[in-house]
Structure 1
Amino acid sequence: MSAPEGRILAGIADIAAAAWDACLPGEAESHAYYTACDALAAQTGVGLRMAAACAEADGEVVAVAPFFRLNYRLDTPLQGKLRSFGDALFRHMPGLVTLKVLCVGSPYAERCHLGFSPTLDAAGRAAAFQALAAALERQAAEEKAHLVVWKDLAPAEEEGFGRALKQAGFARLGSLPIALLDLPFKDEAAYLATLSAATRKDIKRKLAKAGEVRIAFHTDIAGLEPRIDELYEATRAQSGLDYGELEVLPPGYFGAVSQALGERAVFALYWVGEELAAFNLLLVEPGRVIDKFLGMRYPLAREHNLYAVSWMANVRFCLERGIDKLQSGQTAYASKLRFGSRLVPSTLHVRHRLAPLQWALRSLSPWLGFERFDPDLAAIARKKAA
């Protein structure tokens, strides 16, 4: 194989779907998913647009990665009272806390979809990664981006390429981990048996009080899109966390994803009488279900314990299909850990184009990770330290 060469493309749609998906086999967050998200952002003017980088050798695509541009506020990791301080600083000196960023990864996924052709060996992957990285660095220099960020590298990518990024001068920061529930169980009872007695009792009590809740699974949500959008926005406002543009979805996102992914996008709908009280978007893969988004109507959701009800519905969904992993994302860690999940780390790699500021960033990196400012993770860390 000839040496790979990196290229920048205006959008993921400019790479053939078969070539992209061959580098990221089995992913529900696939070429179809990303192109649907990007087309919607372009159409509505809401949400972040994505571009793509690829590496080619002998006329074939051998590596791919999405990227996007972001005017990033340095106070984004801060939450609660600390965020109020950041807001005040931004109002008076926006240029001091806002940087132009080229970010490798996606605002619509919780991991960096860095993919490689299955034909590559370890040396070939390393060469393709270097070609991708070089193309992205050239693009960042051309755009005069202050920062280049590799967002949410999973453990396998961190192990494979973290050292190369460090040698290239990047500082490593902790990102928000992903909650993952392993389900090697024959049935629901076997899963419940792994939880504490108090948690089992709590779940059973909440399920017993949810008799009025009707659950239906759909792959077609035609006509329900406005209500689903409303539930998502209500839940986002209720969360108390704010990660800025990184959590803004284009209007119509759920309908577009449903159409793009077909049976790989399953909506669990929770009805109380004629009222749609909650929804859950599940992205279905051969060995994993991604609990992508949960939206609930308050106070109805609390009155019917819909978080616990939806959790157990998702567990049953996986067990009935022989799927042994339920991924439930980067929020509400306390409940997910109590229900048996483990936390899979994610990392950020960041480099400022000005050497003095990069030195400061590297020096401060142990204190700048997102995981330090999430309320649930902070409480868990304090509990462990006590």
Structure 2
Amino acid sequence: MTLTAIVENSIAAFDSAEWNRCFPSDPENWAFYRACEEAGPPGFTWYYAAIRDDGRLIAVVPVFGTEYRLDTTLQGVLKRITNQIHRLLPALLSLRLIAFGSPVAEICHLGFAPEVPAYDRPALLRRIVTALQEFSAAKRYGLLGIKDAPSRDDGLWRGALAPNGFTRLPGLPTAVLDLPYASFDAYLESLSKATRKDMRRKLKAFKDIRVEQRRTIDDVVSEVSALYEQTVAHSDLQFEYLPPDYFPHLLRFLAPEASVFLYWHGSELVAFNFVIETADRLIDKYIGMNYAVVPKFSLYFNSWLHNVRYCIERGIPVYQSGQAFYGPKLRLGCRLQPNWQYFRHRNPAINTLLQVVAKFVRLDRFDPAIANLVKEAA
């Protein structure tokens, strides 16, 4: 048995079958990461840290490098202030970051070959962490992190990182709606009386909207991109920017599981929703809306209700709706699955300073739903 730790700069270094067997049934698979490499957000470099045993892939984690803005998690007035500072002194708020995870994935994917027993996995992850620490030093990345480690893997990550002085912070949780309902009306009945009444009222505002499901959007790329731009402009939290070619590219690579719901008012495209569908869940991946008509048609809530109905009619048991708008999602029956961030800077003085800064920019200071989740997980 010969174990070799490697850091590759393209997913092409891995066969799709060997990658996917480390992540069985995960919709964000080898094809997903290949599409992200080819048409994903600018400003990122893609890496993959892995362990091979006599050439056989037994453990792997995607990695990315970028210039990270320390005010990424700030919102409201504080974010407007730091935006002004960044325009004047960009280097003051940015650090070279290399991190396990992906800016476009739902979670940090930590994968092991099925034959790797649970008792061997902590040691393999420690070897991967050591390999990336050495790689990051050689590439002059100062800040090493983990983005969105899911709660199911948090014990592994804590065991690998705590001895190395990493700081742990709450990340953006994943909102999940379980759908054990025989009908859409049964789902509505599960909501509170006030919420149910509000949703029925919003559904009436949707009667003039036509929904079209597509697996190609080449003829409406510019319209989809414009709607995405509006959503980005209205978001306080934005880590990555997706170029126009990203959506059609991802559709091609993830066919037939990926599709886009287009929302039409007459001949005008007023919203889109990019989803990934498997037998056990529908992932609500990206959304874009014309904010001039959002209130008129209750587009956000009606796109949600459309997806719930879609899942129930097809027997899809889980609707996974992403990392934002937690208040409304809890009201509509979601549960939140915690995700965690970790960081450590190679320079001890900078690391100490970042630990102080982290107390003021951590996500649970700005979102009560995340704050409650952190208390429950404590």
Contact 1:271 1:278 in 2 (8 A): yes
2:206 to 210, 225, 230: 210
RMSD: 2.1
**Alignment of 1:333 onto 2:333:** no
Displacement of 1:130 in angstroms is: 1.8
Code of the aligned partner of 1:121:
P
**Structure 1 residues 150-169: aligned runs within 5 Å:** 150-169=146-165
Code of the aligned partner of 1:18:
A
Whole-Å Cα distance in 2 between the matches of residues 196 and 61 of structure 1? 49
Whole-Å Cα distance in 2 between the matches of residues 21 and 151 of structure 1? 21
Q: 1:298 to 1:361 in 2, by over 3 A?
A: closer
Per-residue CA distance 1:87-113 (angstroms, 9 max, x = gap): 233344433321111111111113101
> Which residue does the alignment assign to 2:86?
90
Q: Which moved more, 1:85-94 or 1:265-274?
A: 85-94
Contact 2:57 2:113 in 1 (8 A): yes
Displacement of 1:328 in angstroms is: 0.9
Whole-Å Cα distance in 1 between the matches of residues 290 and 372 of structure 2? 28
Contact 2:45 2:66 in 1 (8 A): no
2:312 to 319, 325, 338: 319
> Which residue does the alignment assign to 2:48?
52
**Alignment of 1:120 onto 2:119:** no
Q: Which runs of 5+ in 1 are unaligned?
A: none
Code of the aligned partner of 2:140:
K
State the TM-score, normalizing by the size of structure 1: 0.91
> Which residue does the alignment assign to 1:258?
251
Displacement of 1:47 in angstroms is: 4.7
> Which residue does the alignment assign to 2:294?
301
Code of the aligned partner of 1:354:
N
**Structure 1 residues 176-191: aligned runs within 5 Å:** 176-191=172-187
Whole-Å Cα distance in 2 between the matches of residues 163 and 365 of structure 1? 21
Code of the aligned partner of 2:194:
A
Whole-Å Cα distance in 2 between the matches of residues 301 and 90 of structure 1? 31
Displacement of 1:211 in angstroms is: 1.3
Whole-Å Cα distance in 2 between the matches of residues 119 and 100 of structure 1? 36
Q: 1:91 to 1:221 in 2, by over 3 A?
A: closer
Whole-Å Cα distance in 2 between the matches of residues 14 and 379 of structure 1? 40
> Which residue does the alignment assign to 1:33?
32
**Structure 1 residues 1-386: aligned runs within 5 Å:** 2=1, 4-41=3-40, 46-239=42-235, 241-243=236-238, 246-362=239-355, 365-374=358-367, 377=369
Code of the aligned partner of 1:21:
N
State the TM-score, normalizing by the size of structure 2: 0.93
Q: Which runs of 5+ in 2 are unaligned?
A: none
SS of corresponding position for 1:102? strand
Per-residue CA distance 1:203-255 (angstroms, 9 max, x = gap): 1111123211111212222312221111111122123x143xx2211331110
Whole-Å Cα distance in 2 between the matches of residues 165 and 362 of structure 1? 15
Contact 2:74 2:361 in 1 (8 A): no
Contact 2:47 2:63 in 1 (8 A): yes
Displacement of 1:58 in angstroms is: 2.2
Whole-Å Cα distance in 1 between the matches of residues 295 and 244 of structure 2? 26
Q: 1:349 to 1:215 in 2, by over 3 A?
A: same
Contact 1:279 1:296 in 2 (8 A): yes
Whole-Å Cα distance in 2 between the matches of residues 137 and 379 of structure 1? 31
Q: Which moved more, 1:230-239 or 1:98-107?
A: 230-239
Q: Which moved more, 1:119-128 or 1:310-319?
A: 119-128
SS of corresponding position for 1:49? strand
Whole-Å Cα distance in 2 between the matches of residues 357 and 165 of structure 1? 18
Displacement of 1:364 in angstroms is: 5.7
Displacement of 1:345 in angstroms is: 1.1
Code of the aligned partner of 1:202:
D
SS of corresponding position for 1:323? coil
Whole-Å Cα distance in 1 between the matches of residues 315 and 124 of structure 2? 35
Whole-Å Cα distance in 1 between the matches of residues 103 and 143 of structure 2? 16
SS of corresponding position for 1:5? strand
Whole-Å Cα distance in 2 between the matches of residues 182 and 3 of structure 1? 43
Contact 1:172 1:365 in 2 (8 A): no
Whole-Å Cα distance in 1 between the matches of residues 11 and 62 of structure 2? 7
Contact 1:219 1:258 in 2 (8 A): yes
Displacement of 1:318 in angstroms is: 1.2
Per-residue CA distance 1:162-197 (angstroms, 9 max, x = gap): 132111211101111111111122221221122110
Contact 1:46 1:251 in 2 (8 A): no
